[in-house]
Chain A
């Protein structure tokens, strides 16, 4: 079946502008994650959604970052007043929910490469 999809694949913006990044999870996956990958580095967790529960926002680096998800569908990550330090690849992952509330293996999308000039 279809994997996780993200759009746009590339985004170039000017410092101070707002950007929206979109993620379509695998159908039936209740959990959705956003990660950030700076050039040459590993991934950093940003935010986690599980069904209709309140999201875990513990990884968001500042209040300029926010994300929404309606039910178990599409999610949007918004970065307001972008800064050059926000330049990175933003990756989305989704997974199914296991018994006991745990989540299964995360499967990743291709990412959105954000460049802030």
Chain B
């Protein structure tokens, strides 16, 4: 069975601080995919990143960066110089390498960035 754990249910930071959202996953598959989605107050999930289990290279996109470590089964997400617009619930998700690739979601981390 697959499982995704986001231990931080809520994080509060002040604008311009860096913040890291943790994600730990469990799977018996050797090939799988990891995702991060953002859910702003409007409710719609916004896709941020997709990672193949064979690609452990870290990725940076603007103020966002992701650290994938298979050794610890973690896929952490860092926001540098946070902004109020980053306030949202962030979900980490895992998909098997099969037709359908249904997503198993973590419980989400609510990030509040205060001005």
Which one of B42, B50, B100 contacts A105 once the chains associate, using CB atoms below 8 Å?
B50
Interface residues of A in 65-108 (CB under 8 A from B): 89, 91, 93, 95, 101-103, 105-108
- Mask, B68-104, CB within 8 Å of A = 1, is 0000000000000000000000010100011111111
Q: Count of chain A residues with Cβ under 8 Å from any Cβ of B?
A: 27
Which one of A31, A35, A41, A43 contacts B100 once the chains associate, using CB atoms below 8 Å?
A31
Q: Knowing A108-B45, A111-B43, say if A43 contacts B99 (CB, 8 Å).
A: no
Consensus secondary structure, chain B interface: loop
B99 and A42 contact, CB distance less than 8 A: no
Residue B35, interface by CB 8 Å: yes
Number of chain B interface residues as a range: 20 to 34
B43 and A41 contact, CB distance less than 8 A: no
B100 and A89 contact, CB distance less than 8 A: no
Residue A25, interface by CB 8 Å: no
Q: Knowing A42-B108, A91-B45, say if A105 contacts B102 (CB, 8 Å).
A: no
B50 and A109 contact, CB distance less than 8 A: no
A107 and B101 contact, CB distance less than 8 A: no
Residues in B with CB closer than 8 Å to A48 are: 100, 102
B44 and A111 contact, CB distance less than 8 A: yes
8 closest A-B pairs by beta carbon, nearest first, are: A42-B105, A108-B45, A101-B99, A43-B105, A45-B102, A110-B44, A42-B107, A48-B100
